[in-house]
A and B are shown apart, each in its own frame.
Chain A
Amino acid sequence: MNSFRKYAGLVSVLGILVAVFSLSSKNFFQLATLISIANQIPDLTLVAVGMTLVLVVGGIDLSVGSVLALSSAVMGTFIVDFHWPLVASIPMAMLIGALCGLINGSISIGAKIPSFIVTLGMLEIARGATKTITNSQTKYIGSVIEPIGEPLPWLMLSPAFLVALGAVVLGELLLTRTVFGRYCIAIGTNAEAVRMSGIRAAPYSISVFVLCGLLCGLAGVTQTARLAAVDPNAAMGIELSAIAACVIGGTSLMGGRGSVISSFFGVLIIAVLQTGLAQLGVSDANKQIITGVVIILAVLLDALRSRFAINVHLSPKEL
C-alpha cells in the first residue's frame, strides 16, 4: 500500500496520457502499438537505470550516449571483422562500457573533479573513438544480432525488453535492499557525514559509475540489435532523455533521492508521449515543445506534492 502511494502520481500521469491518446487516435490503444513502444525503449531504460544510480550518489553521467555508441562499435567490429560469436562479443561491449565508467568514476572521485566535467570530456572522447573505429560509416551486421531486438513469438516482447526489465528490477533491489544501495543514498545525501561515520565512500561512488558504464554497454547491444547495424551517430542526446526520465520519476539532481522503478515510469511516459504524438501526426517541432512542457509539468507537480506533504507532516504533533 505504501509502494502503491509512492508510484500513484506517476501511474496516473501515464494513465492520463494513454487515455488521451486512445481517445484521440483509434490506432493507439492496440496491441501492435503497445508492443512497438515496449520494443523501442530497452536502450533508454538501461541507460536510465544507470543514470538513476549515478544521480543518487550525487554525480551525473553525460557520456552515456557516446559510451553506448562506442560499445556498439566495438561489438560490431568483433562480430564483423574478427568473426567472433555473439555470445563472446556481447561481454566485450559491456566490458568497454564498464571501462569508460571506471575512467569517469576514478577521475572524478579520485581527483575530486565534478563528474559533470569529466563525463563531458568522456562524451567527446568516446564519440570520437566510435567514429575512428567505424570510419564514420554505418556498419551492417545483419541477422546474427536481430533476434535480440525482435519480439519472441509466444510473448510478443523482445529479449532486449526483458533484459531492460530485469535491469530495472535488479537496480531497484540494489538501491533499496543492499548495503551498497544504502551507502549510495547516504553518500548522495551527505558525503562528509558518511566519512565521519567511518565509511570510505570512494569505492562505492566509483562502482556506481562502472555500473552505469556497464549498463550503457548493454544498451549498446540492444540498440545495435534493433538496427541490425552499428551507427556511429547512435544515441546522440540520450543523456538528456535519461536525465529527463529520472527527473520525471522524482530523482533528485542533488543526490540522495531516487528510485529505479520511478525512472522506468519516466521512460514509459516519454515513450508513450513520443509514439502517441507521432500517431496524431504532430510535427517534430511541436513534439519537442510538448515533451518539454510535460517534463517541466511533471517536476512541478512533484515539487508541489512534496511541499504539500511536508505541511501535512508538520501540522499535527510538532508544536
Chain B
Amino acid sequence: MKQDVDSILTVQGLTKRYAVTVLDNVCFELRPGEIHGLLGANGAGKSTLCKIISGLVAPTAGSMSLASQMYSPSNKQTAESVGVQIVQQELNLIPTLSVAENLFLGRMPHVAGVILQQELQRRARVALERFGLDSIDPKMMVSRLGVGYQQMLEIAGALDRPCRVLILDEPTACLSAGETARLFERLTQLAQDGVGIIYISHRLDEVATICQRVTVLRDGRVVCTRDTHNLTTAMMVELMSGVNGEQCEASRSLTPRTSPDENQSGKALAAGSFDRKSKRIPLCSEPVAITIGSHSETTGRSVLLKVEGLTRKGVVNDVSFELHAGERLGIAGLVGSGRTELLRLLFGADHADAGWIRLSPDFRERRMRHPSQAVRAGFAMVTEDRKQNGLLLSQSIRVNASLCSMRRRFSRWGWIRRQAEQKTVQEVCDSMDTRCTGIDQIVEKLSGGNQQKVAIAKWLIQDASIFLFDEPTRGIDVSARQRIYKLFESLAMQGKALVIVSSDLDELLATCDRILVMSAGCISGVFERNEWSHEKIMQAAFAGYSGGMA
C-alpha cells in the first residue's frame, strides 16, 4: 500500500487459520475521515477481519499499523486504549444495569471503589446528548429500552471513548428509518472529525449512500477496493459472488469418475443402490470435490409438504413453498435472513403467527405447537447448534442416538429393550463410519464431525420422512462432510424429502435439486438446478435489504 502516510489503519498480509483458512493474505487500508464499507457473503471473512483489528482475535500471520505505528493489540482493552472501537452485531449490554452504568462499565468514576453516582449520571448525559439521545434517562434500566435504542446506546458508548477507528458490524439491522438517518448524520460528522470508520452491512443501498470506498471480500481474500460513486448495488453483488459465477461453480464441481470398483463407499446407509444414470460418489480423498450426480427432476414426484404463508412476526414473512418426495431443497440466504427461524416454525420449536403447514396425504391445514407433534408427523430436525440443543453432550452415543425412537422402537411396557437398542445404534453408527471407541462412548469426547453424525443418526433411527438440516456441515472436517453429502443422496433415493439450510452456497449448489433464497424473512427467489448461478442467488439474497428491489 503506497499511501501509508495517508492512512490511519493499514493491514498487511493478514491471515487467519482455524481448521480452515478464514482470512488469506488480506491487505486493507483505512483513511482518516473516510467511511469504508466492507462487503462479502456469509463466511467471506468480514467479521474475522474486524475481530482481528479490534483485538478480539489474534491473526495467524500478517501485520497491522495504526497511524504509521506498529499495531498488534493483544486484547480488546489495548485496542480500545489506542482508539480502535468496535460495535458488534450482537448486543453486549448488561440488561439489569442502568444506561449510565452500561456506558461506563469498566471505567466508572469512583472514590475507593464507591461509585460517584452524580458524576456518572452527568457524564452519561453528556455522552447521550452528543449522540442525540437526550430522551433517554441515564438511570433507566437497559432491559426497558427497545432494541433500536440499545444498539444506539452501544454506539454512543464506543464513541465516548477516544476514537480513531470505529468498526460497526450491521449497526442498522434493527434500527428504524429515522434512527438510521440520525446514525448516518452522526457518522458523517465523526468522519469529518477525522475518524476512520469501517462499516459492515447487508443493506447495499446504505453502503452506497454513506461509504466513500468499499472493500469486497470473498472466501477470505480481498477481491478489490473501489470507490462507491461509480458502483451500483448490482455490481457489488457481482463482486461478492465472483466476477462470473460460472467459473467458481465449475471449479467446484467434479467430473464424474467412471472407473469401476473404485467405490469404497461401503454400506451406503440406505442400502439403496444408485440408479443407472447416477454417477459415483467421490471419495473422501478429494478435499473439495462434491458430488453432482443423480440430481433428479422434482416435477412428477408426489408432494409431501405444502407451506402456505407461514409467518412469524419480525423474522419470517409469508413463506410459501412445496416439498416433494426425494427432493433436496436448499435454503440460501444471509445469516439472519430467517432461514433457521423458518425451520424452527416447520418443526414446531417456535409458533407461527399466521400461515399453515399441509402434509400429505390429507393436506389438512395445521400448525405445529410442539416438536413432538412435528416428529409424529414425520419431521426430523438436525439443529444448527448441536451442542446447545442437538445433543446430550455428557451422555453416551447410545443414549443420544436412541432418544427420539425410545418409545416407538426400543421399549416394551416401558422397559428398554437394550439388545434391540444396541444392535440398531451400532448398525447406524457403523453405516455412517462414526469414529468412536464404542457406542457407550460419551459424545462430548467425539470430534465435531462424529458428533454431527450422532446428531443425524438419531433421526435416521427414528425413520422420519422430512429432514430439516440447519447448517449440517458447520465446523466439521472434510471426510465427515463427504459422508453427510453421501447420506443426503441416499435419503433422497429412499424418497425422503430434505430441506437444507447452509451458509456455504457451493455446498447447496452441489447437493440440492432446488434452491430457495431467503432475504429479510421473505422468499426472494426460487431456482431450479438448470437455471441457477452464484450471482443470481446472491442477487436474490441481498434483494430484501436494498430498498429498490423485492
A residues bordering B, Cβ < 8 Å?
A: 177-180, 182-183, 185-186, 189-190, 192-200, 256-257, 313-314, 317-318
User: 21 A-B residue contacts at CB 8 Å?
Assistant: A180-B414, A182-B403, A182-B406, A182-B416, A185-B395, A185-B399, A186-B392, A189-B395, A193-B389, A193-B390, A196-B371, A197-B371, A197-B375, A197-B403, A197-B458, A198-B374, A198-B379, A199-B404, A256-B392, A256-B395, A314-B445
B392–A183 CB distance below 8 A: no
B404–A198 CB distance below 8 A: yes
Task: Report Cα–Cα, A47/B258, bound state, in Å.
Answer: 68
**Nearest 7 A-B pairs (CB), nearest first?**
A198-B375, A189-B392, A192-B389, A198-B371, A198-B372, A179-B411, A197-B404
- Of A197, A257, A313, the most chain B CB neighbours within 10 A belong to A197
What A residues does B372 contact at CB under 8 A? 198-200
Q: Which one of A177, A199, A256 lies within 8 Å of B394 (CB-CB)?
A: A256
A179–B414 CB distance below 8 A: yes
| Shortest Cβ gap from B58 to chain A (Å) | 23
Select from chain A the residue with minimum beta-carbon distance to B442. Answer: A313
Count of inter-chain pairs, beta carbons less than 8 A: 80
A195–B406 CB distance below 8 A: no
Interface size class of B (residues with CB under 8 A): 20 to 34
Q: Which of B353-410 contact A (CB under 8 A)?
A: 370-372, 374-376, 379, 381, 383, 388-395, 399, 403-404, 406-407, 410
Q: A177-B415, A197-B371, A198-B375 are in contact. Are A313 and B389 (CB under 8 A)?
A: no
What B residues does A190 contact at CB under 8 A? 389, 391-393
A183–B349 CB distance below 8 A: no
Q: Which one of A177, A192, A199, A200 lies within 8 Å of B403 (CB-CB)?
A: A199
B residues bordering A, Cβ < 8 Å?
A: 347, 349, 370-372, 374-376, 379, 381, 383, 388-395, 399, 403-404, 406-407, 410-411, 414-416, 418, 437, 445, 458
- Of A177, A182, A198, A256, the most chain B CB neighbours within 10 A belong to A198
What B residues does A183 contact at CB under 8 A? 406
Apart from A186-B395, A186-B399, A193-B391: 11 A-B pairs, beta carbons within 8 A: A177-B418, A179-B416, A189-B394, A189-B395, A192-B389, A193-B392, A195-B371, A197-B458, A199-B403, A314-B445, A317-B437
What B residues does A257 contact at CB under 8 A? 394
Task: Report Cα–Cα, A258/B70, bound state, in Å.
Answer: 55
Q: Is the interface of A mostly helix, strand, loop or mixed?
A: helix
What B residues does A318 contact at CB under 8 A? 445
B395–A198 CB distance below 8 A: no
What A residues does B458 contact at CB under 8 A? 197
| Shortest Cβ gap from B222 to chain A (Å) | 35
Task: Report Cα–Cα, A136/B341, bound state, in Å.
Answer: 58
| Shortest Cβ gap from A6 to chain B (Å) | 13
Q: Which one of B349, B379, B394, B407 lies within 8 Å of A195 (CB-CB)?
A: B349
Select from chain B the residue with minimum beta-carbon distance to A314. Answer: B445
Select from chain B the residue with minimum beta-carbon distance to A173. Answer: B415
B403–A186 CB distance below 8 A: yes
| Shortest Cβ gap from A281 to chain B (Å) | 45
Q: Which one of A195, A197, A199, A313 lies within 8 Å of B445 (CB-CB)?
A: A313
What A residues does B393 contact at CB under 8 A? 189-190
Task: Report Cα–Cα, A270/B372, bound state, in Å.
Answer: 43
Task: Report Cα–Cα, A112/B113, bound state, in Å.
Answer: 37
Q: Which one of A177, A178, A180, A196 lies within 8 Å of B389 (CB-CB)?
A: A196
A178–B403 CB distance below 8 A: no
| Shortest Cβ gap from A280 to chain B (Å) | 41
Select from chain B the residue with minimum beta-carbon distance to A180. Answer: B414
What B residues does A200 contact at CB under 8 A? 370, 372
